[in-house]
Amino acid sequence: MRIKCWGSRGSFPANGPEFVRYGGDTSCVELESSKGDLVVLDAGTGIRDFGSQFAEAHEKVIHLVCTHAHLDHIVGFPYFSPIYNERATIHIYGCPCANDSLETAIRKLMRGPYFPVDFSALPSEIVFHEVSASQFTIGALKFTPIRLNHPNGGCGYRVEERGASFVFLTDNELEYGKLGGDPGYFEELCAGADLLIHDGEYTNEEYKQYESWGHSKYTDAVKLALAADVKRLGLFHINTRRTDDQMDLIVRDANEIIAKQGANIECVGVGTGFEIDIQSGTQYGMPVATA
């Protein structure tokens, strides 16, 4: 299973010289199974560059698995070039969001006055699949939905193939609400993962102002990684105002916390270009050296 990040910012894209190393695009992560099954998690602004590599999109069936329908996670969909290719097939998976289905949310996004091309005019074949609590498969990949602790709901996912596991939990608040008083829920579903990518938007000080907004302190993500005994932790949903240097400091502190616990867990800041082969453990591109 190969994983590549095309965008990891939260809430709003960031640009400028202080946001180069981790990138400025919002949530989009590519998965490819050992059999060549292609899946993309979320359709934030990073999906535009992901889609640009498929000039011949008809050669592949693309599966888009969404965590939820907040704007920063679907706003890139109208700019995803394969949807304009009549030979492309895109399967879209997502759980219901508030009072709408994911399909309704995307259709609303692609209509006037918000966008000039109506969803009904797209020439590609688009098939929607509603995600429930049940496991589902895409080719060689097995997906287990994980309910997010986030306003309007949503799903994270544990993805498994050939004994390897990857957990994607963006937009998840570990401290607030505790999902009905069950703090072990996330630990159980993350247990032993080769890579856990988790929301780490806030510092401890910032969280005091944003409690209940649906995002976690990076220190809580570290606690989860330790409790679940994962092999690697990737901090995701990087605050839109967080500079590269500030993110380096957060990653360094996270690794110091882990080292003090005597755990053998590598923590990285997940930025655009981060790439890893889960089975071999080989990393490419990101992460950059920490401060």
Residue at token pair 């602790």: 149
Strands, E, within 170-209: which ranges?
Answer: 195-199
pLDDT average, residue stretch 171-186: 76
- For residues 79 and 181, the model is more confident at 79
Query: Distances in Å between the alpha carbon of 104 and those of 71, 96, 101, 258, 262?
Result: 13, 10, 5, 42, 48
Distance of alpha carbon 141 from alpha carbon 131, whole angstroms: 15
Instruction: Report the 10 Å Cβ neighbour count for 274.
Output: 25
Kindly tell me if the per-residue pLDDT of 10 is higher than 60. yes
Helix (H) or strand (E) holding 278: none
State the pTM of this model.
Answer: 0.94
Contact residues for 56 (Cβ-Cβ < 8 A; gap 6+): none
User: CA 241, 247, 249, 251: dihedral to nearest 10 degrees?
Assistant: 150
- Whether 85 and 122 have beta carbons less than 8 Å apart is answered as no
Tell me: pLDDT of 143 over 70. Answer: yes
Which residues on adjacent β-strands are paired with residue 100?
97
Task: Name the pairing type of β-strands 164-169 and 195-199.
Answer: parallel
**pLDDT score at 283:** 82
Residue 180's pLDDT band, with cuts at 50, 70 and 90, is low
